[in-house]
Amino acid sequence: MDDLRLARRLRLGAITTLLAVGLAVSLAACGSAAGPDAAVSSPPDGGGISSPDPSAAFVVPRPGQLDVHDIQADRLEATVDGSTITVTATWTSGVEPCSILDTVIVDPGEGDFTITLREGRGPEEVACIAIAQEHQTRFDIPDVAPGTYVIRDGTGNAPEVEVVVG
Protein backbone atom coordinates (compact mmCIF):
# COMPACT_ATOMS: atom_id res chain seq x y z
CA MET A 1 0.00 0.00 0.00
CA ASP A 2 2.86 2.40 0.79
CA ASP A 3 4.39 1.77 -2.66
CA LEU A 4 1.08 2.68 -4.30
CA ARG A 5 0.85 5.96 -2.37
CA LEU A 6 4.45 6.81 -3.24
CA ALA A 7 3.80 6.10 -6.93
CA ARG A 8 0.72 8.36 -6.90
CA ARG A 9 2.65 11.17 -5.19
CA LEU A 10 5.46 10.89 -7.71
CA ARG A 11 3.00 10.91 -10.61
CA LEU A 12 1.14 13.93 -9.17
CA GLY A 13 4.44 15.72 -8.59
CA ALA A 14 5.56 15.03 -12.16
CA ILE A 15 2.27 16.32 -13.58
CA THR A 16 2.46 19.47 -11.45
CA THR A 17 6.05 20.06 -12.55
CA LEU A 18 5.15 19.58 -16.23
CA LEU A 19 2.26 22.04 -15.95
CA ALA A 20 4.49 24.62 -14.24
CA VAL A 21 7.21 24.20 -16.88
CA GLY A 22 4.63 24.44 -19.70
CA LEU A 23 3.22 27.64 -18.25
CA ALA A 24 6.70 29.13 -17.86
CA VAL A 25 7.59 28.28 -21.46
CA SER A 26 4.33 29.81 -22.74
CA LEU A 27 4.87 32.99 -20.75
CA ALA A 28 8.46 33.24 -21.92
CA ALA A 29 7.45 32.75 -25.56
CA CYS A 30 4.89 35.57 -25.53
CA GLY A 31 6.82 37.76 -23.15
CA SER A 32 10.14 37.42 -24.94
CA ALA A 33 8.93 39.74 -27.71
CA ALA A 34 8.92 42.57 -25.20
CA GLY A 35 12.72 42.47 -25.04
CA PRO A 36 14.81 45.21 -26.65
CA ASP A 37 15.54 43.26 -29.85
CA ALA A 38 11.94 42.29 -30.65
CA ALA A 39 9.73 45.14 -29.50
CA VAL A 40 9.25 48.17 -31.72
CA SER A 41 8.75 51.21 -29.54
CA SER A 42 9.76 53.88 -32.07
CA PRO A 43 11.26 54.23 -35.53
CA PRO A 44 14.83 52.85 -35.77
CA ASP A 45 16.41 56.29 -35.28
CA GLY A 46 14.16 57.07 -32.32
CA GLY A 47 12.35 59.68 -34.40
CA GLY A 48 11.96 61.91 -31.36
CA ILE A 49 8.74 60.04 -30.65
CA SER A 50 7.69 59.10 -27.17
CA SER A 51 4.39 57.95 -25.80
CA PRO A 52 2.25 60.74 -24.36
CA ASP A 53 1.15 58.20 -21.76
CA PRO A 54 4.24 56.56 -20.25
CA SER A 55 2.18 53.59 -19.03
CA ALA A 56 1.21 52.67 -22.62
CA ALA A 57 3.43 50.70 -24.98
CA PHE A 58 4.22 52.94 -27.96
CA VAL A 59 4.21 51.00 -31.24
CA VAL A 60 4.54 51.68 -34.95
CA PRO A 61 2.62 49.72 -37.60
CA ARG A 62 4.37 46.65 -38.97
CA PRO A 63 2.55 45.55 -42.14
CA GLY A 64 2.55 41.88 -43.05
CA GLN A 65 1.01 40.33 -39.92
CA LEU A 66 -1.26 37.29 -40.09
CA ASP A 67 -5.03 37.21 -39.43
CA VAL A 68 -5.33 41.01 -39.64
CA HIS A 69 -8.57 42.49 -38.31
CA ASP A 70 -10.00 45.84 -37.19
CA ILE A 71 -9.59 46.73 -33.52
CA GLN A 72 -11.33 49.32 -31.40
CA ALA A 73 -9.55 52.48 -30.35
CA ASP A 74 -10.24 53.47 -26.75
CA ARG A 75 -9.16 57.07 -27.22
CA LEU A 76 -8.16 59.41 -30.05
CA GLU A 77 -6.27 62.65 -29.46
CA ALA A 78 -5.36 65.17 -32.14
CA THR A 79 -3.20 68.26 -32.44
CA VAL A 80 -2.73 70.63 -35.38
CA ASP A 81 0.52 72.15 -36.61
CA GLY A 82 -0.03 74.26 -39.71
CA SER A 83 -1.83 72.02 -42.21
CA THR A 84 -0.91 68.75 -40.49
CA ILE A 85 -3.13 66.91 -38.02
CA THR A 86 -1.22 64.59 -35.69
CA VAL A 87 -3.37 61.82 -34.21
CA THR A 88 -2.50 59.68 -31.20
CA ALA A 89 -4.60 56.51 -30.95
CA THR A 90 -4.77 54.46 -27.74
CA TRP A 91 -6.23 50.95 -27.46
CA THR A 92 -6.05 47.89 -25.25
CA SER A 93 -4.94 44.60 -26.71
CA GLY A 94 -2.76 41.57 -26.11
CA VAL A 95 1.01 41.27 -26.09
CA GLU A 96 3.42 40.45 -28.92
CA PRO A 97 3.74 38.26 -30.89
CA CYS A 98 0.05 37.50 -30.49
CA SER A 99 -1.17 41.09 -31.04
CA ILE A 100 0.81 43.37 -33.37
CA LEU A 101 -0.34 46.63 -34.98
CA ASP A 102 -0.32 45.96 -38.73
CA THR A 103 -1.71 49.16 -40.27
CA VAL A 104 -3.57 52.37 -39.57
CA ILE A 105 -6.11 53.27 -42.24
CA VAL A 106 -7.04 56.95 -42.61
CA ASP A 107 -10.21 57.38 -44.63
CA PRO A 108 -10.90 61.05 -45.48
CA GLY A 109 -14.51 62.12 -45.74
CA GLU A 110 -16.36 65.40 -46.11
CA GLY A 111 -15.19 67.26 -42.99
CA ASP A 112 -13.93 64.16 -41.21
CA PHE A 113 -11.27 61.48 -41.06
CA THR A 114 -12.15 57.93 -40.04
CA ILE A 115 -9.27 56.10 -38.36
CA THR A 116 -9.22 52.29 -38.39
CA LEU A 117 -6.55 50.40 -36.49
CA ARG A 118 -5.75 46.93 -37.87
CA GLU A 119 -3.96 44.33 -35.83
CA GLY A 120 -2.73 40.81 -36.47
CA ARG A 121 -0.31 38.28 -35.10
CA GLY A 122 3.23 37.29 -35.92
CA PRO A 123 4.17 34.04 -37.67
CA GLU A 124 5.33 32.36 -34.46
CA GLU A 125 3.32 29.36 -33.32
CA VAL A 126 3.01 30.12 -29.61
CA ALA A 127 0.36 29.81 -26.96
CA CYS A 128 -1.09 33.28 -26.48
CA ILE A 129 -1.62 34.33 -22.91
CA ALA A 130 -4.53 36.56 -21.96
CA ILE A 131 -2.74 39.68 -20.77
CA ALA A 132 -4.15 43.10 -21.65
CA GLN A 133 -1.73 45.91 -22.46
CA GLU A 134 -2.45 49.52 -23.38
CA HIS A 135 -0.89 50.52 -26.72
CA GLN A 136 -0.43 53.85 -28.47
CA THR A 137 0.58 54.91 -31.93
CA ARG A 138 0.95 58.35 -33.49
CA PHE A 139 0.62 59.36 -37.13
CA ASP A 140 0.22 62.48 -39.27
CA ILE A 141 -2.52 63.51 -41.67
CA PRO A 142 -0.62 66.04 -43.84
CA ASP A 143 -1.76 68.79 -46.20
CA VAL A 144 -5.22 69.29 -44.71
CA ALA A 145 -7.19 72.24 -46.08
CA PRO A 146 -8.34 74.89 -43.58
CA GLY A 147 -11.55 74.01 -41.80
CA THR A 148 -13.08 72.10 -38.91
CA TYR A 149 -12.70 68.32 -38.95
CA VAL A 150 -13.98 65.42 -36.89
CA ILE A 151 -11.61 62.53 -36.20
CA ARG A 152 -13.49 59.28 -35.51
CA ASP A 153 -12.73 55.64 -34.79
CA GLY A 154 -13.75 53.33 -37.64
CA THR A 155 -15.25 50.88 -35.14
CA GLY A 156 -17.27 53.60 -33.41
CA ASN A 157 -15.77 52.87 -29.99
CA ALA A 158 -13.62 55.92 -29.20
CA PRO A 159 -15.22 59.33 -28.70
CA GLU A 160 -14.91 61.65 -31.68
CA VAL A 161 -12.38 64.49 -31.61
CA GLU A 162 -12.87 67.84 -33.33
CA VAL A 163 -9.93 69.88 -34.65
CA VAL A 164 -9.64 73.19 -36.46
CA VAL A 165 -7.02 73.62 -39.18
CA GLY A 166 -6.20 77.30 -39.77
The pair phi, psi for residue 109, each rounded to 5°, is -125, -165
**pLDDT value at position 25?**
36
Beta-sheet strands, E only, within 19-160 = 57-58, 66-71, 75-81, 84-93, 100-108, 112-121, 133-141, 147-153
From first to last of the 166 residues of the chain, give the pLDDT tens digit.
555 554 444 444 444 343 333 433 333 334 333 322 222 223 333 334 444 567 889 999 999 999 999 999 999 999 999 999 999 999 999 999 999 999 999 999 999 999 999 999 999 999 998 999 999 999 999 999 999 999 999 999 999 999 999 9
**pLDDT value at position 34?**
34
**pLDDT value at position 54?**
76
**pLDDT value at position 150?**
98
Domain residue ranges of the chain, discontinuous segments joined by +: 40-165
The pair phi, psi for residue 28, each rounded to 5°, is -65, -40
**pLDDT value at position 97?**
95
**pLDDT value at position 2?**
54
Q: Work out whether the CA dihedral 121, 124, 126, 129 comes out positive or negative.
A: negative
Residue 15 to residue 100: CA distance in whole angstroms: 34
**pLDDT value at position 38?**
26
